[in-house]
Amino acid sequence: MFSHESHPGYEPTLPDQPSPALQFDQLDQLPGRDDPPTIELGPPLPEPGTPTYPYPAPAPDEPPGPLYVVGDVHGYLEELLAELRHQGLIDADGHWAAGRARIWFLGDFTDRGPDGIGVIDLVMQLAAEAAAAGGYCRALMGNHELLFLGAARYGDEPVQSTAGTASFLAAWRLNGGQQHDLDRLQAHHISWLSRLPAIAIEDGHLLLHSDTTAYLEYGESIPDVNDAVHKLLADEGVDEWWDCFRRFTKRFAFRGEAGPMAVHELLDTYGGTRIVHGHSPIPYLTGAVHADDGAPPHIPGPYVYADDLAVAMDGGVTMEGRLLIARLPVN
């Protein structure tokens, strides 16, 4: 059974109710998605000329700062800047103002919205500024990172797909790819995106982009999964990329009666006491996507479900929802 009762703001959803998410599901999986293999190279170095900021050097015994997560951005740079400012994490000029705070972006920076490269540039900038301040700004690799990297690397090269002949470029365009993002994609973006981890754990929160158990197919520990994805991106061909992309595009594993079991499977393998994920917009998870009056979906905040074991962070900014930033733990 769903356990929405303890989460004010979200109406209970009948588990077996036909969901409009089906259409979304099919669209999102259209030509398939591969994972670009990546190599773990560590945090990016500041670009030459990056100014230093006057933060005090952290003492070694100082406790870590507060932990935040950011849901899917999908090119909505202005909304991201506004929410980061609202939370006091950046200043009026868009620079890190959060000291030793820790921020994890949950992936899907580009596609659908107007300025995907602007989003990547901002996150890279904040990563450098946060590190200088004794905090950090890190990011997971979402399926749209795999899709975007695949479009850039493999273009129209045909891939094996159950949906017939497909290519990364066609799939990327069908899933909101913006030509101006591809035109502005530079080597340092590719390098940074290709190094992002697929999974992380922070303060007992297992952080994933997608609400799927497909991560288990890549390894039994967090380093194993991240290494496997990075190695695949570095060494494998278009069909392996595509397969990885498709696996990390799956969704809804934590919904319904079997949801808590799926969450436990991941927590038992990788550690942590709760999963925090993006990828599936909250209106689709709750089934509240299409209001009868056509009103935008109501997104009061992160969506806690699966017996309180999972927190969904994609507020559906691409569908007139919200770009969510939350401080963990979420109640």
By beta-carbon proximity to Mn ion, the closer residue of 145 and 227 is 145
Beta carbon nearer to Mn ion, 230 or 250 = 250
Q: Based on CB atoms, which residue is closest to Mn ion, 32 or 135? A: 32
Q: How far is the CB of 252 from Mn ion (least distance, A)?
A: 12
At a CB cut-off of 8 Å and minimum separation 6, what does 141 contact?
Answer: 35, 38, 107, 193, 196, 197, 198, 209, 229
**Rounded CA separation 223/194 (Å):** 15
Nearer to Mn ion by Cβ, of 129 and 209: the residue is: 209
Q: Interface with Mn ion by CB under 5 A: which residues?
A: 108, 142-143, 279
Provide the strand spans (E) within 249-306. 274-277, 303-305
Which of 72, 227 has the CB closer to Mn ion? 72
Query: Residue 133: what residue type?
Result: A
- Nearest-approach distance from CB 217 to Mn ion, in angstroms: 17
**Where is 208: in which H helix or E strand?**
strand 205-208
| Residue 162 CB contacts under 8 Å (≥ 6 apart), including other chains | 32
Structure tokens at 317: 């900014």
Instruction: Answer whether 32's CB lies under 8 Å from 246's CB.
Output: yes
Question: Is 143 or 161 the residue whose CB approaches Mn ion more closely?
Answer: 143
**Amino acid making up residue 14:** L
**Complete edge-to-edge strand list for the sheet that includes strand 136-139:** 136-139, 102-105, 67-70, 325-328
Q: Are 288 and 294 in contact (CB under 8 A)?
A: no
* C-beta closer to Mn ion: residue 133 or 212: 212
**Cα separations (Å) of 186 from 45, 124, 154, 192, 291?**
16, 13, 15, 10, 41
Side chain identity, residue 222: I
Minimum distance of Mn ion from residue 245's CB (angstroms): 10
Minimum CB distance to Mn ion, residue 135 (Å): 26
Beta 67-70 vs 325-328: how paired, if at all? Answer: antiparallel
- Minimum distance between the CB of residue 47 and Mn ion, rounded to whole angstroms? 28
- In the structure encoding, which two tokens stand for residue 170, read together? 């066609």
We find the least distance from the C-beta atom of residue 198 to Mn ion, in angstroms, to be 12
Tell me the sheet residues that pair with 166: 159
Shortest spacing between CB 142 and Mn ion, in angstroms: 5
The helix/strand/coil state of 153 is: helix
Q: Toward Mn ion, which CB reaches closer, 31 or 65? A: 31
| Residue 323 in tokens | 């770009």
For Mn ion, give the closer residue by CB, 28 or 129. 28
Point out which residues pair with 229 in neighbouring strands: none
Task: Output the CA angle 215-15-300, nearest 5 degrees.
Answer: 80
Nearest residue to Mn ion, scored by beta-carbon proximity: 279
Least CB distance from residue 51 to Mn ion, whole Å? 33
Q: Are 168 and 111 in contact (CB under 8 A)?
A: no
Closest CB 315 distance from Mn ion, rounded Å? 13
